[in-house]
Amino acid sequence: MSKIYKTTLKNGLTIITEEMPDIQSATLGIWVNIGSRNENSAKNGISHFIEHLLFKGTKRRTALDIAQEIESVGGVLNAFTGRENSCFYAKVLSKDIPLASDLLSDIFLNSTFDEKEMEKERMVVLQEIKMVEDTPDDLIHDIFATAFWKRHPLGRPVLGNLQTVKSINRSDVVSYYKQLYTPHTVIITAAGNIQHKKLLKLLKPFEKMSRHQAMEKTTTPVSYHGVVLEQRNLEQVHLCLGTPSPRQAHPDRYKIYLLNTLLGGGMSSRLFQEIREKRGLAYSVYSYLNLCLDAGSLVIYAGTAPDTFGKVVELILKELNTFTKKEVGKKELISAKEQLKGSMLLGLETSESRMTKLARDEIYFNRIVDVKEITEGVDKVTAQDIRNLAKDIFNPGKITLAALGNVKDKDIPKTIRREVGGGR
């Protein structure tokens, strides 16, 4: 049986572990409560840029040394940046935890931000941005976020844009890193075949991190609603249609989890069945949640032919309206609950997923949320709860629609309030 331990260092940095003695692996992650929403518009993308640069060499290791050391034991060393946090993690066999701890400590605390390496990696990030620009089913989500969170940092792309990434210099990187990547923003989590006390000794370098003044809180986002159409000569129209939802730690979170599952959370969901299976109007159609500290959104994605774009939007709106008019049937609700609980439990079978859960619980709830509490929360949701939530968030006046492709304004249903037509 696993055990969870938490230690807060004198400088304020938090270390949380989950000891899972029955598995062979362990995953160690350094989480920073810094993401694209902490950036100003001129330096949009700097958090993601720093994520790349931390792998480009330290005082003790070259970029090649870093790659060779982790691969020599069959391990994985990786990172990702989001709108609210960044994570640098290593997954290894339990016997290689000392190596993983040393590697992560070194890249996080001792990166040199070498000028030559920075220029090479800048080119890599610029290519990554261009890749997204060439991938419309990825790009549409950024277009939607920009429209939905207009004039707020949450609406900016995590990668930044070509102009901002080109403008970031070494001084910007070093200053931003020193100011924000400090103990009060860092959480280290680990899960797997590890021992908490031994890991604390391996992580002693983090005790030397000095305290800094707490960063300013970012402003609470306000969603905007209407239609944004971006013309592009594509075979399909890619669309995102979304609405505000409860934030990550809101008491209604279990209701929105279930509503999302019922709406577009799998092959048995209403949208998949109605739009793909019954009518063949889309290959890909689904819904997802983007839940943040102080706000959230429920977003529906679909890719369809230009001449069926209007029909698909109408079908989506019809399904949303159905949720507001009629309670979900008992059988369908039970099935959605079992799907949600099952996917969560199956997803927690790896050391990597357990490490992630520890961090997200601390970031969003300031405590470890027991799995039993989650399953009980899901089970308590009623059909009336879902209908009441749907009536609140599926109001036509709250809906945002973004579309990319050969789109026509005349195909937009009149129930969606118009705002602006024409890109970002």
User: What Rg do the C-alpha atoms of the chain give, in angstroms?
Assistant: 23
Q: Which of 248, 360, 292 is nearest to 16 (CA)?
A: 360
Rounded-to-integer distance, Cα 136 and Cα 156, Å:
17
Spatial separation of the C-alpha atoms in residues 60 and 64, rounded to whole Å? 12
Tokens representing 67 are: 């790659």
Distance CA 269, CA 245 (A): 19
Q: Is 244 helix (H, G, I), strand (E, B) or coil?
A: strand
Q: Alpha-carbon distance 157 to 267, whole Å?
A: 29
Nearest Cα residue to 290 out of 139, 151, 154, 152? 154
Task: For helices 383-393 and 253-264, give the axis angle rounded to 10 degrees.
Answer: 80
Residue with tokens 């060499």: 57
Task: List the catalytic residue out of 19, 39, 51, 230.
Answer: 51
Residue 51: active-site member: yes
The residues, any chain, with a CB within 8 Å of residue 65's CB and separated by 6 or more, are none
The number of beta carbons lying within 10 Å of the beta carbon of residue 197 is 10
Residues annotated as catalytic are 51
